Structure 1
Amino acid sequence: MGTSKSFSDVKHTMVPNWGPLSSSLTSNCDSSSLPAPKLQNIMRNFVKALGGASAGGRGGSKAGGRSSIKTAKKIGGVFSTFISSGNNIRETLASTGLTDIDNKTVGDVINHLIEYCSGSATSIDDNAAKEATRLLLEELIGQAESIDRVQTLLEESFTTSRLEDVIIKYFGYYINELLSKWFYENLIKNKNESDCNNLFSQIKNFIVERVADMNKKNPLQNIDWSSQEADRLVKNIQQDVLTVFE
């Protein structure tokens, strides 16, 4: 769960309310099962560390929330193409530059889409956005044994879920990854690994459960994913996700 680059490389002065977030994580890093109010307090401090749901959600924070917007728009574009193509995975992958698909494994497809959606990672924010992309794709299509099965799994996903649901899930994974990359590596130096894993596992589950219950109010059908409207809607969604914890 660690990261190749410690958040200590970034000045804590860039992050509002760093102290309360650090204290709430450190004091709760043990073997206990945390009640929902304590988990909510940790996440409230996280949102404050981003400068609030509005700043963090709309890309106005220096601490995070920018790479996730860029990546979410790319993810939205890929899945929008899949839906509009009549669930044609080959046409969708070709639109991202992946050809000779029959000679590719599902792992190749996932790795290609991670790079296509997230690009190179040069910061902790980039790394969090990229890891969240991997987690999302592995959840959606990681169990597929073939390209045709990828198509079937995605078709099933978008029969029961809307594109907004998938983008919300992505942002849930992203904020968990960003929080983990900020603190896990340094926290484990002072706490044992089991307690750290226990804490971050509970945080992840709490985030996933809370965002799953969000009200959906940003329909993403039939939009141009390179447009300002797409940018606005994606920022709306990330702000809405952070508002759940504010």
Structure 2
Amino acid sequence: MGTSKSFSDVKHSMIPNWGVLSSSLTSNCDSSALSDQKLQNIMGHFVSALGGASTGGRGGSKAGGRSSIRTAKKIGRVFSKFISSGNNIKQTLEFTGLTDIDNKTVGDIINHLIEYCSGNATSIDDNAAKEATRLLLEELMGQAESIDEVQSLLQETFTTNTLEDVIIKYFGYYINELLSKWFYENLIKNKSESDCNNLFGQIKNFIVERVEDMHKRNPLQNVDWSSDEADRLIKNIQQDVLIVFE
């Protein structure tokens, strides 16, 4: 599941609804197929643990939602540059500080962009944001075998998807990673690995399916990514993602 360490950044007693969320995960960690209602209940408890969609979505929670905002703005900056450059991947990578591009592998490119967008991970929130970045970039360009194929794949992505679509997908990955990093390591101490993987696999699929159907209301064309407006729009999107599960 990509967990790095147990949840220790914030005292559990300081997190609203922590016990309810923990109990709902423990009681549903078995080999069964969960109903959409049970999965929605788990995610509702998760949003509550962030202090609600408004608080958590706009970076007001100590439990999470801050690193994801910083990272999503960097992701937006990268892909906006790609779009505005006429889908020129080399120009985009140079913009992010990558040099000697012709000698870089696709893996090198992905790793560089992960570091550019997420930086050092020193907390559970940082780790969740960084892992979500890796998952997003591997989905978008991981099948490429050359830099030209990376360019083609991204061009195809932004022919059929908006930048908002991609940022929404990122936040979906992020909240799944945050939830699993909070609980997976401790849960597996008392439950079997197969049951834990079954539970978190269903949660991940549920999140991905729900965010794909989200109403889009935050167009990101021509955004100045260093502006307060960019910050507001990214927070709007994370809040909208959390509202889906509230």
**Same-fold status (TM-score > 0.5):** yes
> What are the within-5 Å matches in structure 2 for residues 116-155 of structure 1?
116-155=116-155
Hey, what does 1:69 align to over in structure 2? 69
Q: Is the 8 A contact 1:14 1:62 kept in 2?
A: no
- Within-5 A mapping of 1:72-87: 72-87=72-87
Distance 1:240 1:92 in 2: 29
| CA positional deviation for 1:99 | 1.2
Give the equivalent residue in structure 2 for 1:226.
226
User: How far does residue 51 in structure 1 lie from its aligned partner after superposition?
Assistant: 0.2
Residue 5 of structure 1, CA deviation? 1.9
Partner of residue 16, structure 2: 16
- Hey, what does 1:47 align to over in structure 2? 47
- Distance in 2 of aligned mates of 1:158 and 1:92: 15
The letter of the residue matching 2:38 is K
Counting only pairs closer than 5 Å after superposition, residues 164-175 of structure 1 correspond to structure 2 as 164-175=164-175
Contact 1:105 1:146 (8 Å CA) reproduced:
yes
Aligned to 2:6: 6
Q: Deviations over 1:154-174 (max 9, x none)?
A: 000000000000000000000
Task: Confirm or deny: 8 A CA contact 1:114 1:130 kept in the other structure.
Answer: yes
Letter of the 1:19 partner, please give it.
G
2:179 counterpart of 1:179:
yes
Is there any run of 5+ residues in structure 1 with no aligned partner, and where? none
Q: Does the 8 A contact of 2:9 with 2:124 survive in 1?
A: no
Instruction: State the partner residue of 1:210.
Output: 210
- Deviations along 1:116-175, one digit per CA (max 9) or x if unpaired, are 000000000000000000000000000000000000000000000000000000000000
Contact 1:169 1:212 in 2 (8 A): yes
Q: Percent identity?
A: 85
- The CA deviation at 1:2 is 4.6
Rounded to whole Å, the distance in 1 between the matches of 2:241 and 2:121 is: 23
SS in 2 for 1:145: coil
Structure 1-normalised TM-score?
A: 0.99
CA RMSD, Structure 1 to Structure 2 (Å) = 0.7
Long gaps (5+) in structure 2: none
Provide the residue aligned with 2:244 in structure 1.
Answer: 244
Structure 1 residue 9, shift from structure 2 partner: 5.3
Distance 2:156 2:181 in 1: 32
Taking the aligned partners of 2:167 and 2:219, their CA distance within structure 1 comes to 11
What is the alpha-carbon distance in structure 2 between the residues aligned to residue 164 and residue 224 of structure 1?
Answer: 15
Relative to structure 1, is the Cα distance of residues 124 and 103 closer, same or farther in structure 2, using a 3 angstrom cutoff?
same
Q: Distance in 2 between matches of 1:186 and 1:224?
A: 42
Maintained 8 Å contact 1:2/1:185:
no
| Aligned partners of 2:106 and 2:150 also within 8 Å | yes
In structure 1, C-alpha distance between the alignment counterparts of 2:14 and 2:232, rounded to whole Å: 25
Q: Displacement, 1:4?
A: 2.5
